[in-house]
Each structure stands twice: as C-alpha cells, then as structure tokens.
C-alpha cells in the first residue's frame, strides 16, 4: 500500500479484518508459538512473542486499531532489504547538488576568496584571526580563525561577520575539549602571498603551515614535505545568509558586469547553470518529498559553506576511513556517489555502500609514502553536525596510489576543520584525543560476554538463560533486556505481567557477580499517566514543531519609480474635427492599458518572527512519541536524574543502560528521522544544524546520570548513534547486521574504522541481528569476535530462533564455549590495552598499518587490509569469512617484525605471506615475537569472580634478541579511583 494513503483510509481498510481477528480468537499463532500483534524492529508489521490477546473491550479495540494503522503505515517505509529510494543522495540534496554544479563551473581559476593579511589579530586563547573578503563584495564578511596546537594540529574555522542569522556553533566542551588543547609556540613570517607559521610539535616534529592569501588556502608540511593542502583546487564555497528572494547580499558588486546576475558569488548565486531548484523554501527534491513532508527551509539559503580539501599524497592514500560510513571496506573505495554523514536508522543496511548509517565521525586517515622519507600518517577532521557529503577523487581513476582529493560539503553551520599532522599513527590518535578528550576506563565486566536478545520476555526467561550458562559452565558477565520489558514502551517502567518483581530478578543476577542492562530510548510515550512525559512537557523541554505565519515585511518600501496607474489616456488619440464642445462637452482622450503599469504594489511576505511553537510529535515504538531537547543542559540533568535508584524502580547499582533509536528514529519522519525544520528550544536551533549530535547528547545525558547515581562507579552506556567525542560517554555497536558471511567479514573493517575514530569500546552483533546463522558461521563469528571485538555481545531479532551458545548441538556449543573461555583467559591483556587507550589514546584494536607503517604490505596487501587486524601491538588476527566447503586455506600476511607465534600451538613463523590450512576449531591468530602476554588460567562464571585469581605470563621470545617485554595494568576493575592516579601523572606515551 502506498505511503501516501491517509490514516483514515488505512483505518477503514483494517477495521473489519481486526474485528474479525478478535472474534475468532484471543490468540494467534505462528511457527514460534503464541504471539501478539506488534511492531518489528525496523518498523515492519510482525507478530510479537507473548501471551494471549486481551478481551475485546472497546478500549482494547481502539488501541489495537490505532497500533495497526501505525504498523501498516510503517510498512511503507521498511521492506526486506534497504530501500535506497527512501534516503537522499547528493543529487537529491539541494546544497550538495549545487556544490557539484559549482565545482564544474568554467571560471574555476578565478580568485574569489582572499585573506587580508593586514587584518591579522592574535586570539586570546592563542592563534590568529584574519578577515576574508570576496572579490564581488565591497567589504570583508568572513572571519577566519587559525589555531595551532602543540601536540601537532592546525585548526581553521570560518564564519560570517555580523550574519543575517547567527550560525550554529557547537558549544565549547561538547566536541572540542574545554579548555582547548595547549597552543604551540609559533613563529610567524609574511612570505610572498602567504603567512607562514612554523612550530615544533611533540617529539620535536617540525611543522609548517602556510596560509595562502589569494585564493584562500592552507598548506601543511612536516619535515619540509607537504602532507595536505586545503582548497588546493580553488573550490571553496561559502554561502552567506540573505533575505528570501535576495540573490546577492547588499554589498555584492556588479561593477565588472553589465548585469548583476553575472556576478560570481557562490554556489547559490552565479551565472553558470545556476541550480535554484529547492534552494529556498522548497526543501528536498520531489522524490524525497514522498516521505510524508517537506522541509520548509524557513531561513531561505540555510546552507553551510562547502569547502574543498586536497590531501596531497605522493604514493598512496591510506587505509583511509570516513567513519560514518561504517558499512564500507577498510581501504575506502572511491565511489561515484559521495559518502554521506547523516545519522539514520537504515533498516537492513547493506555493506560496501557510501550511504549514511547510524553515526558520524568525519575523520579521514591518510598514509604518505614520499620519496626519500619514511612512511608518514596524517588525519583530517571535519567538525560539523549537519548533513555532510564527502567525495574522494584521484587524478587518475584507475590508480590505487598517487595524489588524492576530497571535497566536503555540509548543509549548515560553520566551517571547522583540523589537520592532524601526525606524522605517525600513534601521534594522529594522540592528537585526536588531545582535541576531543580521553575515554574513561570501562569496568572489567564490560569486556566480558554480553547476552542479549529482542527480547527476553519474562523474569522466568531471564532466570532460565542465566542458569543455562551455569549448567554448561559457560562464562558471561551481563544479560540485557530490550523494549518488550517496558509497560507499553514507556521507558523507565516495567511490564507488570511479565516482570512483576524486577528488583528481585536483578538482585539475583547481582548475587552471581553479574550485571544487567536495560534499553532506554529517547522517544517518550505520549500518555498522561507516564510521569516522564508529563514532567518533560511541563518543563517545556520537548523539541518543537514550528508553525510559521506570513506577514508583510515591515522593511519593504514601495520603490519611488513604481507605477500603479493601470490605465492612461491614449497619447496617440486626438479630438475629432467634428467634435462640438458646446454640444458634446469637453473631449477626453480614451483610456488604454498603461504599458508602464507594474501592478498593485504589495510588500513582500516574510515569516512572522514570533511563530507558533508546539511539541513535535512523531511515531516510534510507543506509537505517538515526543522527543526531548537533549541539547539543553536542563534536559540532560533531568534525564540523568531518572536513573537514580529511588526513581528508576526495580533497578540496582549493577543496572546499566542501552540507548537505541537515538539517531533520532522517527518512523513517519522524512528518511525515518526528525524533520530538519523542527526546532530545539534551547537556543532556538533548527534540527538540521545539529542532527548528527542528537544521539551524542542522549548518551551523554545517560552517562552523566549513571555517574551521579552511584558515587565512584564506572558508568556503562551503549549507543547506536554517535558523533565525534562519543568515546567519552559510550560503547558503540555496528547496528542491525545480518547473519551472513559478508557481514562477518565486514565487521573487521567496521570495528577498525570506529577504533581509528577514537571509539575503542565497539563491536558487532555476534551471529548477526537479522536471520539466523548456521552452526559453522556461528563458530567462526565467535572465534573472530572474542579476539577483535572489544564490546562482545550476542544479539538477535525477535523472530530468529534462540541462539544462546547452549542451544546448538554439542560440538558447536563446545567450540563456542572454547572461544569464550579464551576471551576470559585474555581479559588481563584486554584490560591493559584499555589502560593504554584511556591514558595514551592508543586504539585497542587497529588496522595493521597503525603498528607497522614502514611495511607497505600492511596497507597494500588485500588480505592484510581487509581480513586482518591487530589486538594492541601483540596479537594479529585473520578472520575466516567463508565456509570450509568454499575455503580450506587462508593466505595470511605477517608484517615485518621479530617473528610470529601461533596462538593455537605456538609454532613460529617468519614475516611475510603464509598459506595456512583451515580447520573448524580455530582461525589464524599470532602473537608477535618479543611479547609477554598476561593471561588468567582459571575460568569462572564471570570476570568479577576471577578478579583475585593469579596471573599467568606467556612469553614469546624475539628469536634474535632472546628477550621479550610486556606490561600488566592492575586496579580495582570497577571504581574511578584510577582517575586520581592519572591526575597525579604526567601522561606521556610509553616506550
């Protein structure tokens, strides 16, 4: 049924069928037993596990009818796989489409934006500002701020001076740390057409940043070699706000053109194939308007300045990772369609696509192999939370190496970019965390096995899962509950029929030294009895829908030459000779249409500056839902307070939280998310300006609430949506993946991409969320996950068969158990690596190039890049992503090192490619020679039960040196006392 059907029509179509179902039976069945009607995880109509339907009271009928209408409407959005027509491409977004036209204009060499060096001013926090002038404007209207940080970063921000509308800027401390990183000691010289900044970064790295004056550009060099050039192709575009229907700003000059329409200003005002479609009030293109509504774009040209960056790499551009597109391979493909950063709930997403997904960390890593120098690494960070596209290009499309370019364009906000100069991967990671903050230490339990499902349906179900793990002596740390545990999807509540005594249930789990995680989503059920709804509403803290009224523009005056006379005397007429004034009266020339008539003058219409605001309502799991404005500190404070033990009934100090659907997901919204013109009342900011940060603010509020709930405890929060800096507050998983071999393999790149973006507590759903893995796939997934997923969770769709380890046949169960026991033996190593991550910003899991940059094969060898990954600098893992019937051996590349020892049998291998025969009991994994690995040999029911057990050190000698080194980090595994130790230390990267 078409999505455009009215709800009244849907109601009528469903009514007879639903009433008939009630009359026939109070229960319905499918292949999995008793079910009740309910929504599927992606919004599709499904049968939800549960008990009998209620008696057919009128109220019950009303509720069911309403829900069925919702579900059928939602079905229009979701299918058996991702429907690309539901999601925008670059050509369907007016700002991106305009930019593509802009960069193809014939006058690309013309200098438009120029830095005025005489306006250089020192900033209070360090750094400098410059005014930037456009060639077609009388005065400078942009301000450039340049900050240079001592750890090795060059940051440029570009914003309007006295704009028509204030642009949204991310508040200090939300992404960039407050106070910001330490400023470098900089030497400044004025060169030929450039201002040159020289400084020494950490580890005595000599850096030079040359700010080109005309056209505006930035060239960053390390050791005399250029690594990155910004605006190298003169493609910078900055669209200034202007009044509706105003093509040019007031001081845009037309002195060089006879016609003002010939002025070359920006992508929204230029003479070359100007694309005005959807530039103003129209919003999305026609194909996207089918998604229920149109973006009003009330501020007319509400577009962010697109900006071009050229990453100049002589030989090869990286195992580069734009981390929002988590479904892409490790070495980013150069797609024809740009990568998109717009946090979305993409149902049944596919891999190897540039489409948007749940989160956005717009960071690119680049590897530079320059003649006469060792390999170097650098990074480029684009700090903008509005919709963003990035296009990767090469001078020669067929070449895998050589110079590469990337252009970026965002819908709104300011230009804020950072060059991370490296020149080593360790320095790039350190610089990123110096800018955005360090992550906290997770509790040891968070690194153990998490058991989750949509959904464990009752207290008995939970107790059964827990006891079966013990029966088969399989270790695990945490059991999870999804949305069905709530009272009608009212979060912070319990389904009283299925969970009558939640406190006792959770206390029983705690008694076994295990933890509990509940899902708490940010859409709030609209129901008067639900206290969270009432309190947030009464505080005025929900996101608002804006209804604009039109009014006459008081600043619009009638032009002095405006002609309003519709008729004039015919100037060509003359009095007829036979006319007799005495008899006929005075002769009057006949009236004709006035050719100069301009019509009745009316002032132009503008939006009333005092629009009507009402709470924005959308559809999500509870039905009609409202969405808190988490950008407001007051809302975050209130949200966090709800996790207090005296407010969140049934929980204890061992209960932690999962924030799902926080993109935010709005089933009946455009692209299944919040409309761009919804308004956050805190600052009256349009949602378009901060869309990619909504989920960030949700999990930040949850983390801060848990930190206050239990003094000294380490909070744990899992989030699906994320942004730059989310590592400070949450774990991340890769979303609703498939039980497919391709998704198993893709998880290697996805986990590696996220860890390079600062997010080390990450993982994928083991076994896949959708569909059901066979026994061999399940075994392979566990064998990989226990070695490379920092966050190790088994999760599955409601309609899949149960897949807890003990439900499989005995050989399969024993192989899964062996994998999990290996994970628990290795927890001391994992925990030590997390200390290095927290203190020194070293990714816990990382692509091979991070540790072996001087070995070209680590970023050129296909298997090394796409199938292999490192756990710290100690363990190399090669994933197996095909059944044995299709792959009986694997080619493993072992980087240049002292040698490698098989994890399974200790056999020694020299560096280089090796062909290994595969068996079902293990995957290829190797400890690096010269390593001492801390382990624990006694495996108990949970990590907490192992905390006082002795350690075992496995020594893998460097065969030439006859020596090995290693480290072991110890604390109490659960409190924040380690922060006191860190505060007393001067943290420097360890040797």
Of residues 663, 799, 842, 866, which has the active-site annotation? 663
Half-sphere exposure at residue 263, Cβ-oriented, CA atoms within 13 angstroms: 21
Rg (CA), the chain: 31
Of residues 477, 671, 736, 842, which has the active-site annotation? 736
Cβ neighbours of residue 651 under 8 Å, at least 6 residues apart? 502, 503, 506, 516, 518, 643, 645
For residues 87 and 346, the answer to whether their CB atoms sit within 8 Å is yes
Backbone torsions φ then ψ of 982, nearest 5 degrees: -65, -40
Four-point Cα dihedral 910, 914, 920, 922, nearest 10: 30
**Is there a catalytic annotation at residue 736?**
yes
For residues 876 and 851, the answer to whether their CB atoms sit within 8 Å is no
CA angle 123, 127, 133 (to 5 degrees): 80
Cβ neighbours of residue 1 under 8 Å, at least 6 residues apart? 10, 13, 72, 75, 76
Cβ neighbours of residue 988 under 8 Å, at least 6 residues apart? none
* Two tokens, residue 940: 């108990």
Cβ neighbours of residue 365 under 8 Å, at least 6 residues apart? 318, 319, 320, 321, 377, 378, 379, 425, 428, 756
For residues 848 and 868, the answer to whether their CB atoms sit within 8 Å is yes
**Is there a catalytic annotation at residue 660?**
yes
Q: Are strands 478-481 and 515-519 parallel, antiparallel or unpaired?
A: parallel
In DSSP terms, which residues pair with 428 in a beta bridge? none
Q: What sign does the CA torsion over 327, 747, 313, 175 have? A: positive
Of residues 482, 632, 660, 686, which has the active-site annotation? 660
Q: What sign does the CA torsion over 670, 672, 673, 678 have? A: positive
Distance (Å, rounded) from C-alpha 864 to C-alpha 645?
48
Backbone torsions φ then ψ of 660, nearest 5 degrees: -110, 170
Cβ neighbours of residue 41 under 8 Å, at least 6 residues apart? 454, 736, 769, 797, 798
For residues 938 and 949, the answer to whether their CB atoms sit within 8 Å is yes
Instruction: With both helix axes pointing from N to C terminus, report the angle between 531-539 and 633-641 in degrees, rounded to the nearest 10.
Output: 160
**Is there a catalytic annotation at residue 561?**
no
Backbone torsions φ then ψ of 289, nearest 5 degrees: -65, -15
Which residue intervals of 826-861 are DSSP H helices?
827-840
b/e per residue, 73-100, with b = 16+ CB within 10 A?
bbbbbbeeebeeebbbbbebbbbbbbbb
Distance (Å, rounded) from C-alpha 35 to C-alpha 503?
27
* Residues designated catalytic: 660, 663, 736
């Amino acid at each position: 049924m078409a999505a455009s059907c009215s709800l009244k029509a849907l109601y009528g179509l469903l009514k007879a069928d639903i009433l008939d179902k009630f009359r026939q039976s109070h229960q319905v069945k499918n292949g999995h037993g008793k079910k009740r009607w309910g929504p599927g995880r992606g919004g599709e109509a499904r049968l939800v596990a549960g008990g009998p339907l209620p008696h057919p009271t009128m109220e019950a009928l009303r509720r069911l009818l309403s829900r069925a209408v919702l579900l059928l409407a939602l079905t229009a959005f979701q299918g058996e796989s991702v429907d690309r027509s539901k999601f925008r491409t670059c050509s369907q977004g007016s700002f991106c489409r305009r930019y593509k036209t802009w960069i193809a204009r014939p006058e690309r060499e013309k200098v438009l934006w120029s830095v005025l060096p005489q306006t250089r001013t020192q900033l209070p926090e360090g750094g400098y500002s410059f005014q930037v002038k456009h060639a077609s404007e009388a005065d400078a209207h942009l301000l450039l701020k340049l900050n240079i940080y001592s750890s090795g970063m060059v940051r440029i921000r570009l914003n309007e001076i006295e704009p028509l509308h204030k642009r949204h800027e991310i508040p200090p401390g939300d992404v960039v740390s407050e106070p910001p990183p330490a400023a470098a000691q900089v030497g400044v010289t004025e060169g030929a057409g450039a201002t040159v900044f020289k400084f020494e970064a950490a580890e005595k790295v000599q850096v030079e940043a040359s700010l080109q004056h005309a056209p505006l550009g930035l060239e960053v060099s390390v050791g005399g070699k250029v690594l990155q050039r910004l605006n190298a192709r003169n493609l910078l575009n900055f669209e200034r706000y202007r009044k509706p229907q105003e093509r040019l700003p007031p001081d845009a000059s037309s002195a060089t053109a006879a016609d003002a329409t010939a002025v070359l200003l920006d992508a929204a005002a230029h003479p070359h194939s100007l694309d005005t479609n959807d530039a103003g009030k129209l919003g999305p293109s026609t194909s996207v308007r089918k998604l229920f509504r149109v973006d009003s774009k009330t501020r007319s040209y509400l577009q962010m300045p697109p900006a071009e960056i050229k990453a100049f790499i002589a030989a090869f551009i990286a195992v580069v990772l734009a981390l929002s597109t988590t479904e892409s391979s490790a070495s980013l493909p150069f797609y024809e369609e740009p990568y998109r950063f717009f946090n979305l709930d993409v149902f049944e997403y596919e891999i190897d696509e540039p489409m948007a997904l749940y989160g956005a960390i717009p960071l690119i890593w680049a590897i530079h192999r320059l003649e006469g120098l060792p390999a170097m690494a650098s990074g480029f960070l684009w700090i903008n939370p509005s919709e963003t596209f990035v296009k990767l290009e090469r001078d020669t499309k067929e070449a895998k190496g050589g110079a590469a370019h990337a252009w970026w364009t965002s819908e709104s906000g300011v230009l804020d970019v950072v060059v991370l100069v490296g020149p080593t991967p360790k320095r790039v990671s350190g610089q990123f965390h110096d800018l955005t903050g360090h992550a906290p230490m997770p509790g040891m339990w968070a690194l153990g096995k998490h058991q989750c499902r949509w959904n464990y349906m009752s207290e008995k179900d939970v107790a059964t899962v827990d006891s079966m793990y013990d029966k088969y002596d399989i270790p695990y740390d945490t059991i999870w509950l999804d949305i069905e545990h709530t009272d009608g999807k009212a979060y912070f509540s319990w389904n009283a029929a299925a969970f009558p005594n939640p406190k006792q249930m959770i206390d029983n789990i705690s008694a076994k030294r295990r933890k509990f995680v509940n899902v708490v989503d940010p859409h709030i059920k609209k129901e008067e009895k639900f206290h969270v709804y009432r309190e947030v509403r009464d505080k005025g803290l929900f996101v608002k829908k804006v209804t604009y009224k039109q009014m006459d523009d008081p600043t619009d005056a009638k032009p002095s030459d405006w002609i309003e006379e519709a008729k004039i005397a015919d100037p060509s007429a003359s009095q007829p000779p036979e006319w007799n004034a005495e008899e006929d009266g005075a002769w009057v020339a006949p009236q004709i249409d006035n050719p100069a008539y301009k019509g009745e003058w009316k002032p132009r219409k503008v939006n009333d500056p005092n629009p009507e605001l009402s709470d924005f309502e959308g559809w999500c799991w509870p039905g009609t839902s409202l969405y808190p404005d988490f950008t407001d500190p007051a809302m975050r404070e209130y949200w966090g307070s709800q996790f207090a033990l005296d407010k969140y009934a049934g929980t204890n100090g061992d209960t932690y939280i999962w924030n799902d659907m926080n993109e935010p997901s709005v089933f009946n919204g455009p692209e299944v998310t919040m409309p761009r013109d919804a308004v956050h009342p805190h600052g009256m900011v349009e949602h378009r300006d901060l869309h990619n940060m909504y989920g960030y603010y949700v999990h930040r509020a949850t983390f801060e609430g848990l930190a206050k709930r239990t003094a000294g405890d380490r909070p744990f929060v899992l989030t699906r949506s994320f942004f730059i800096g989310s590592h400070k507050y949450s774990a991340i998983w890769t979303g609703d993946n498939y039980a497919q071999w391709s998704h198993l393999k893709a998880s290697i790149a996805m986990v590696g991409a996220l860890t390079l973006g600062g997010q080390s507590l990450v993982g994928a759903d083991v076994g896949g969320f959708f569909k059901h893995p066979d026994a061999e796939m399940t075994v392979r997934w566990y064998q990989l996950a226990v070695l490379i997923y920092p966050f190790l969770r088994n999760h599955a769709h409601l309609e899949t068969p149960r897949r807890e380890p003990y439900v499989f046949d005995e050989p399969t169960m024993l192989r899964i158990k062996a994998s999990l026991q290996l994970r628990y033996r290795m927890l001391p190593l994992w925990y030590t690596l997390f200390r290095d991550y927290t203190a020194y910003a070293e990714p816990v899991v990382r692509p091979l190039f991070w540790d072996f940059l001087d070995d070209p094969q680590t970023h050129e060898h296909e298997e090394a890049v796409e199938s292999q990954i490192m756990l710290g600098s100690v363990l190399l893992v090669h994933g197996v992503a095909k059944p044995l019937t299709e792959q009986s051996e694997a080619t493993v590349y072992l980087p240049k090192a002292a040698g490698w020892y098989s994890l399974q049998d200790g056999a020694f291998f020299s560096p280089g490619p090796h062909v290994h025969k595969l068996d079902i009991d293990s995957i290829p994994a190797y400890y690096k020679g010269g390593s001492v690995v801390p382990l624990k040999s006694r495996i108990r029911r949970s990590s907490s039960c192992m905390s006082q057990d002795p350690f075992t050190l496995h020594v893998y000698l460097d065969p030439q040196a006859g020596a090995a080194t290693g480290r072991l980090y110890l604390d109490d595994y659960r409190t924040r006392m380690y922060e006191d130790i860190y505060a007393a230390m001067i943290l420097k990267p360890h040797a």
